[in-house]
Amino acid sequence: MGRYFEKISFEQFSEDVKNDLSLYENYLLPKRSSKYSAGYDFFAIDDVVIPKGERLKIPTGIKMNIGNDEVLLIVVRSSMGFKYNIRMCNQVGVIDSDYYNNPDNEGHIWIKLQNEGDSDFVIKKNNAICQGIITKYLTVDNEENICETRKGGIGSTDRGDNNG
């Protein structure tokens, strides 16, 4: 099966971001910045500004295939929080393995940042905006058999779509 990042399809990109083939072809896949980095930096697709006191939902154009016993945790870059008081609205994004290629959005990973700083926060195209950490997780031994599968995208496991 493998573990890898990939771009969402151009069709999904056109729907979620912009119908711009050049922009689609030129944004970056996540990567680690040093040999021992735990997190994979996600990069801005285009220039954006988060006004002081505001929140902004930002597309990454990325989806990820991971093992069934793995999770991708998305966190804000330490420097953004420490230096500029930028926060992820959900603090930690949890990307389950069955989010990949879901029927709602192909598993497109979005982030939502909040600017709690003193001035507008400018993000330039290709700036690192968050990081993803891949880890295995455990389940309890006495768990009931779960047969439901994901049928949607963000928030679908608590909408009643999956009875969960």
pLDDT digits (tens, 9 = 90+) for 6-57: 999 999 999 999 999 999 999 999 999 999 999 999 999 999 999 999 999 9
Alpha helices by DSSP H, 27-152: 78-84
51 inside domain: yes
Partnered with residue 96 across adjacent β-strands are 71
Q: Is-contact 43 30, C-beta < 8 A?
A: yes
The pair of three-digit structure tokens given for residue 42, joined into one six-digit string: 């996600």
Cα-Cα end-to-end distance for the chain: 26
Q: Model's pTM, two decimal places?
A: 0.87
73 inside domain: yes
Q: Is-contact 52 120, C-beta < 8 A?
A: yes
164 inside domain: no
97 inside domain: yes
Which DSSP symbol is given to 153?
Answer: S
The domain spanning residue 113 has which CATH number? 2.70.40.10
Which DSSP symbol is given to 152?
Answer: S
Partnered with residue 31 across adjacent β-strands are 41
- Total structural domains within the chain: 1
Supply the range of the domain harboring residue 150: 4-158
58 inside domain: yes
pLDDT digits (tens, 9 = 90+) for 63-86: 999 999 999 999 999 999 999 999
Q: Is the pLDDT of residue 107 over 50?
A: yes
109 inside domain: yes
59 inside domain: yes
Q: Rounded distance, CA 108 to CA 105, Å?
A: 6
Residue 163's pLDDT is 38
pLDDT digits (tens, 9 = 90+) for 127-155: 999 999 999 999 999 988 877 775 665 56
14 inside domain: yes
